[in-house]
């Protein structure tokens, strides 16, 4: 099982590297009627709520799983959430999926899924 996890981690890192290269080289593929400015304006609306909810969740994780180490729990949580979001963004860049009204629901689903997986992982270790 450890070998499978290592292979999966290497595959994810390769996807992120290729996706970030493509994102830098070609940018996102916007649907007709969408633009970078519209995406940024919409993201600004989500930022405050995402930061507040993430802070509350991280505080809960630190309190609930403090026996595993505060730094370890914080680092694992932050890297897990950001890693999942970057992986999905890389897959979207590689597949050249159009940025449309489905972009933010996909990112929010990834955010929630990563929190659920982190919680299950921490609970398994206690």
Distance of alpha carbon 88 from alpha carbon 94, whole angstroms = 10
3-state secondary structure of 33: coil
Distances, alpha carbon 16 to alpha carbons 9, 33, 88, in Å = 11, 28, 9
Confidence class for position 1, pLDDT limits 50, 70, 90: low
Total residue count of the chain as it appears in this document? 126
Contact 122, 64 (CB under 8 A): yes
**29 φ/ψ angles, rounded to the nearest 5 degrees:** -100, 105
Q: pLDDT tens for residues 65-116?
A: 888 888 999 999 999 999 999 898 888 888 888 877 788 888 889 999 999 9
- Domain count along the chain: 1
Q: What is the pTM of this model?
A: 0.81
Q: What is the mean pLDDT of residues 118-122?
A: 89
Q: pLDDT tens for residues 26-77?
A: 777 777 777 777 777 877 888 888 889 999 999 999 998 888 888 999 999 9
Structural domain range at position 52: 2-125
What is Dmax (Cα atoms) for the chain?
51
């Amino acid at each position: 099982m450890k070998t499978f996890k290592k292979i999966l981690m290497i595959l994810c890192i390769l996807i992120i590297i290729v996706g970030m290269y493509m994102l830098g080289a070609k940018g996102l593929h916007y649907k007709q009627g969408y633009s970078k400015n519209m995406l940024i304006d919409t993201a600004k609306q989500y930022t405050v709520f995402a930061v507040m909810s993430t802070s509350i969740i991280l505080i809960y994780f630190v309190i609930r799983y403090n026996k595993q180490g505060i730094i370890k729990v914080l680092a694992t949580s932050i890297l897990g959430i950001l890693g999942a979001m970057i992986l999905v963004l890389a897959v979207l860049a590689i597949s050249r999926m159009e940025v449309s009204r489905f972009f933010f629901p996909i990112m929010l689903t990834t955010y929630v899924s990563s929190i659920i997986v982190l919680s299950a992982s921490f609970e398994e270790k206690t």
